[in-house]
Amino acid sequence: PRRVRVHHLRQAKDEGRPITVLTSYDALTAGIFDHAGIDMLLVGDSIGNTMLGMTSTIPVTVAEMVPAVRAVSGAAQRAMVVADLPFGSYESSPDQCLATAVRMVKEGGAHAVKFEGGAHLAEHVRLLTRSGVPVVGHLGFTPQAENVLGGKRVQGRGHEAADRLVSDAVALAEAGACALVLEMVPAPVAARVTGVVDIPTIGIGAGPDCDGQVLVWTDMAGMTSWSPRFARRFGEVGEELSRAVRDYAGAVQDRTFPGPEHSFQE
Ligand code: KIV
Ligand code: NA
């Protein structure tokens, strides 16, 4: 299958074909999602919450991200693989941002990187893009800034905040960003951003009018008992996994597993 590239994303927007994005943190799920035709696999810093037992994305390190990125890029034959830059690894300067992005590309095999923030990071976007690393922006609720934003809250409510979101989106697009994630933004505001910028918007809790949608895969598949309001559970895979584990343990305990068909004879 031909690799999904930046110009395909733009084409999809222009032709009104929604872009499909899921997070992935390992080769197993990356292979499954890639085969299913997902356009972009995001190795999100949500790995902290979903896989590493943390309660936020803030403690996630580059050293924790790189092996996950390598696993996903190794398994994805078609999907574009985007690596999140974790908190503290890019904000200080465009040079710091480029150094971290280069690690994601060289060591991880990522095709692009994503980081959180608006117009103040336009120079970061410009340097990376000119250096050969496509950048996905991330606006609206940006989890790395939850301590400034006052928790997990919808962003861009009210005229002023909406205008600021639009101008941030324009600044990132003009700096060369290849796409924008919009997280927890009122649907009409996300629609306005989508209409204003010529790069694709990828929504999560940002309504139906974005150019694409992204979900954390464990929310999408129903792996955990709680999932956010904006996520639809397309399966109850966590329940099914629990059932399999309980059945396995029961079969070992009552000696119905292994049977003769699972055993070797002399
Ligand atoms: O880390 C992540 O999973 C993300 C998505 C929610 C966009 O940044
Ligand atoms: Na993230």
**CB distance 116 to ligand 1 below 6 Å:** no
d(CA 42, CA 22): 6
pTM > 0.95: yes
Dihedral, CA of residue 242, residue 244, residue 247 and residue 252, to nearest 10: -110
| Ligand 1: centre distance to CA 45 (Å) | 7
Q: Is 245 exposed, middle or buried (0-12, 13-18, 19+ CB in 10 A)?
A: exposed
**CB distance 216 to ligand 1 below 6 Å:** yes
Per-residue pLDDT at 159: 98
Per-residue pLDDT at 179: 98
The residues of the chain scoring below 70 in pLDDT are none
Question: Are 101 and 69 a contacting pair, CB within 8 Å?
Answer: no
Per-residue pLDDT at 216: 98
Per-residue pLDDT at 245: 98
Task: Choose among 93, 92, 98, 91: nearest CA to 117.
Answer: 91
Class of the domain covering 6-235: alpha beta
132: left (phi over 0), alpha (psi -120 to 50) or beta: left
Dihedral, CA of residue 206, residue 212, residue 216 and residue 222, to nearest 10: 90
**CB distance 181 to ligand 1 below 6 Å:** yes
Per-residue pLDDT at 172: 99
208 alpha carbon, distance to own chain's centre:
18
Angstrom CA distances, 79 to 42, 64, 182, 185, 186, stand at 10, 22, 20, 26, 28
114: annotated binding-site residue? yes
Mutate which of 24, 57, 202 for ligand 1? The one with the most ligand atoms within 8 Å of its CB, which is 57
Q: Computed from CA positions of residues 206, 164, 15, 110, in that sequence, does the dihedral angle turn out positive or negative? A: negative
Rg (CA), the chain: 20
Domain boundaries, the chain: 6-235, 236-266
Question: Hey, whose CA ends up nearest to atom 8 of ligand 1?
Answer: 44
**CB distance 45 to ligand 1 below 6 Å:** yes
Per-residue pLDDT at 11: 98
160: annotated binding-site residue? no
* Count of C-beta atoms within a 10 Å radius of residue 36: 10
Q: Computed from CA positions of residues 95, 204, 71, 30, in that sequence, does the dihedral angle turn out positive or negative? A: negative
What backbone torsions phi and psi does residue 36 show, to the nearest 5 degrees? Answer: -75, -10
Question: Are 4 and 40 a contacting pair, CB within 8 Å?
Answer: yes
Task: Report which residue type is found at 135.
Answer: V
Check 15, 160, 174, 183 and give the catalytic one.
Answer: 183
Number of residues assigned to the chain = 266
Q: Is 266 a catalytic residue?
A: no
User: Which ligand is nearest to the Cα of residue 231, counting in written order?
Assistant: 1
Query: What tens digit of pLDDT does each residue of 80-126 get?
Result: 999 999 999 999 999 999 999 999 999 999 999 999 999 999 999 99
Per-residue pLDDT at 215: 98
Per-residue pLDDT at 237: 98
